[in-house]
Structures are given as C-alpha cells and as structure tokens.
C-alpha cells in the first residue's frame, strides 16, 4: 500500500512539475521579458518608461498623422525620440509620414527623405493611419486609398531599407454598426466620443469590406513588404478572417493593441477556437495596448491604467481563470497558452518583425 501511495504521490509531483514547466503563473509577470509594440508618449515625463522598466517591458513608441499634416508627425516622433535618447535600452521608435501635401510634386521625395532621416536615427518601422482611406482627400476631393500607386515607391523604399510597415487601416467592424449593436464597450465608448469616425453615421463613405480590400490589394502588390496590421489588422471580429489573411500573406503579422475586448468577446463564443488560433499562428501575433501618455493624466492614474491593462492581459494569456472585464458584458475564461507561445506573442515576435535588439 505504501508503495502504491508513493507512486501516486510521485505521479502527482510529476504532473505538477510538468504544468509548472509548461505554463507561466500570474506571479511570473515581472520576471518575464515582454514588449508592448504599440504605445504613444507625447509627454516629457519619465513615468511611462519607468513603469515599463519595473514590469520588464520593452516599448515601441508609435508616431502618426492625425489629419494635421507634417507638424503632427514631427511632434509625435520627436517626443518618442526624446524618450528613446534617455532610455535607449527600453524604447524603440516607429515613425510616420503625412499625406496633407499629397498633390505636391515633391511629396514622394519629402517622404523618403524624412523616412531616411528617421531610419538613420534607428526607427524600426513606419506607421500609416486610418486617415488613409477614411479621411484624407486629394485636391479633387477623392479619398486617398492605401493601394494608390503613389504609395508604391514609398513602400518599396521601406522594404528595401529592411523596415516594417505598421498599418492602422480601417476600423473595427463595429464602426459600421449603431452603438447599441456594437459587440464591445470600448468601441461603443470610442465612437460615441468620436462620431466623425463612426461610419454608421457617415453615409457615402467606404464600407469595412472596401477598406480591407484596398489594404489587401496593397499587400498583393508588395508581397515582400514586412507588414504588421495594427489593431488585429481591422479583422478583430473574426479569427477565421485573420487566419485566411495569414495564409494568403506570409509577410503579414498583427498587433493586438486596443482590441483585447474583441479577443475576449470571441473567447466567450468559442474559447477553444481562439486558443487554437493563437497557438497555430504563434509566430504572427504581437502584444500591444495603445496605452498613451499625453501628460494630462496624473502620474498615479497613468500607472494604475498601465498596471490594470498589462496584468489583465497577462492573466488572460497565462491562466485558465474565469475573468471579467469592463470591455465586454460577459465573463470569459483565460486561454492559458504554453510558455513558448507566450514568449513569442510577448517578446520574440516583436524582435523578429520589427528587427528589435532590446
């Protein structure tokens, strides 16, 4: 009997050790190297970076043009550059360019010259934003679309420079629904505050499908361009749709920034499908948040928001706990990914897709 008990006890220890070796714990959070590939710092204070250091996060600060031309690009890029100069081991930069002077004959040369200056300073990629396809227009009043041939030499230059294109092209599919039909609370809150981007209220604007088709045509023209679809490539509503793009475009990956609500929502519907997606495409997915510091929030509030966001997502990925989030209205269960998958999503993939050397 003692021998049987000893065997049972030994098997229990073996299972326990195997589980410990296979999966991270919540308590491992601070000891595991992580990267947030999508943050925005436009403040001079060190609060964001200091919190990231404490939590073992590397950061990729992203610049963009929000319909304000080159001044907007310079402002956001230079704030990130200042942070990087003070913390080169913690911060990398993604730059951007403007389309406000789209019809200027010198536009292409200006863009390439600017990008080269940023690449020489170590920028690892280039961001294009949803103004392309949804807001910005040429001098004839036509929307500028991402598959326009004028972008081709820009994208070729990014590719030849060994850099990555980060594309926030389009919006969540919820953007084309009335507020009450949206699947996540964060989308509902955002579009209520920003009706100018709520396509349900903008008749005559392109559909979600048209914007995604334009993006896909661009990728077809540039099959060797390293492309990361920000915000789950604006296909956040369906891991099946994302899987189809991954199969079609081998140089496409995605970041999760500001779309965990949609991940949670799909987890409620079919947890195993979501988990299988993360495991199958573990080399194509990167963690990001869209967390930002523009200096208006108190330091305590900023740190609290970062802490809540980062630790909520860590719990979701590394445990099978039942969870709740204000992003959606239903409880959901964490998907407890194996350690090797977590390491890729949180760290290794960023190093590969953005050629980081943290």
Q: Rounded to 5 degrees, what angle do the CA atoms 153, 159, 164 make?
A: 120
What pLDDT is recorded for position 67?
72
For residues 325, 327, 331, 336, the Cα torsion angle rounded to the nearest 10 degrees is -70
User: What is the domain partition of the chain in residue ranges?
Assistant: 32-353
Q: What is the pLDDT at residue 15?
A: 44
H or E segment to which residue 92 belongs: strand 91-96
Spatial separation of the C-alpha atoms in residues 67 and 77, rounded to whole Å: 15
Quick one: residue 158, left, alpha or beta (phi over 0 = left, psi -120 to 50 = alpha)? alpha
**CB-count exposure of residue 202 (10 Å: 0-12, 13-18, 19+):** middle
What is d(CA 3, CA 213) in angstroms, rounded to the nearest whole number? 66
CA dist 150 → 209, 287, 291 (Å): 22, 31, 32
Instruction: Give the pLDDT of residue 70.
Output: 97
Dmax of the chain from CA atoms? 88
Concatenated DSSP letters of 240-302: HHHHHHHHH-TTEEEE-TT-HHHHHHHHHH-HHHHHHHHHHTTTSEE-----EE-S-S-HHHH
HSE (side-chain half, CA atoms, 13 Å) at 261:
19
Which residues are bridge partners to 227 per DSSP? 165, 252
Query: What DSSP line would sit under 138-160, residue for residue?
Result: -TTSPBP-TT-GGGHHHHHHHHH
CA–CA dist 164, 229 (Å, integer): 10
What radius of gyration do the chain's Cα atoms show? 21
Cβ neighbors of 83 (< 8 A, separation 6 or more) are 41, 46, 48, 49, 61, 91
**Cα(98)–Cα(84) distance, integer angstroms:** 22
Residue 96 in tokens: 């951007």
Torsion, Cα of 268, 308, 65, 201 (10° steps): 40
Tens of pLDDT, residue by residue over 287-340, are 999 999 999 999 999 999 999 999 999 999 999 999 999 999 999 999 999 999
Q: pTM of the entire structure?
A: 0.94
Neighbours of 17 (CB within 10 A): 10
Helix (H, G, I), strand (E, B) or coil at 96: strand
pLDDT of residue 19: 59
Give me the residues of the chain with pLDDT under 70, please.
1-20
Helical packing angle, 299-318 and 260-269, nearest 10°: 30
Question: Which tokens is 251 given?
Answer: 């140089």
Q: Assign domain 32-353 to a CATH class.
A: alpha beta
């Amino acid at each position: 009997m003692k021998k049987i008990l000893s065997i049972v006890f030994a098997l229990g220890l073996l299972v326990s050790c195997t589980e410990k070796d296979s999966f991270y714990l919540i308590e491992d959070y601070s000891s595991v190297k992580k990267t947030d590939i999508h943050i925005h710092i436009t403040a001079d204070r060190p609060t964001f970076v200091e919190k990231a250091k404490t939590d073992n996060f590397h950061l990729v600060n992203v610049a963009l043009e929000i319909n304000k031309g080159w001044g907007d690009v310079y402002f956001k890029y230079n704030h990130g550059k200042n942070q990087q100069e003070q913390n080169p081991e913690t911060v990398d930069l993604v730059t951007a360019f403007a389309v406000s002077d789209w019809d200027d004959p010198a536009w292409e040369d200006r863009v390439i010259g600017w990008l080269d200056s940023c690449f020489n300073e170590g920028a690892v990629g280039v961001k294009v934003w949803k103004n392309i396809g949804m807001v910005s227009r040429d001098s004839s009043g036509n929307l500028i679309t991402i598959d326009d041939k004028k972008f081709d030499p820009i994208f070729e230059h990014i590719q030849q420079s060994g850099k990555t294109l980060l594309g926030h092209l389009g919006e969540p599919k919820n953007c084309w629904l009335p507020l009450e039909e949206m699947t996540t609370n964060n989308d509902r809150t955002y579009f209520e505050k920003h009706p100018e981007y709520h396509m349900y209220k903008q008749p005559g604007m392109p559909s979600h499908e048209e914007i995604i088709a334009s993006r896909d045509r661009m990728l077809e023209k540039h099959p060797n361009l390293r492309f990361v679809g920000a915000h789950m490539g604006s296909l956040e509503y369906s891991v099946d749709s994302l899987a189809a793009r991954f199969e079609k475009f081998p140089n496409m990956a995605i970041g999760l920034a500001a779309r965990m609500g949609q991940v949670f929502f799909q987890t409620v519907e079919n947890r195993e499908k979501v988990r299988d997606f993360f495991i199958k495409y573990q080399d194509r997915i990167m963690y990001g948040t869209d967390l930002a510091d523009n200096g208006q929030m108190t330091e305590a509030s900023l740190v609290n928001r970062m802490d809540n966001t980062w630790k909520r997502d860590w719990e979701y990925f590394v445990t099978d706990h039942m969870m709740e989030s204000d992003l959606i209205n239903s409880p959901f269960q964490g998907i407890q990914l194996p350690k090797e998958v977590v390491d890729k999503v949180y760290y290794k993939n960023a190093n590969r897709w953005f050629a980081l050397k943290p």
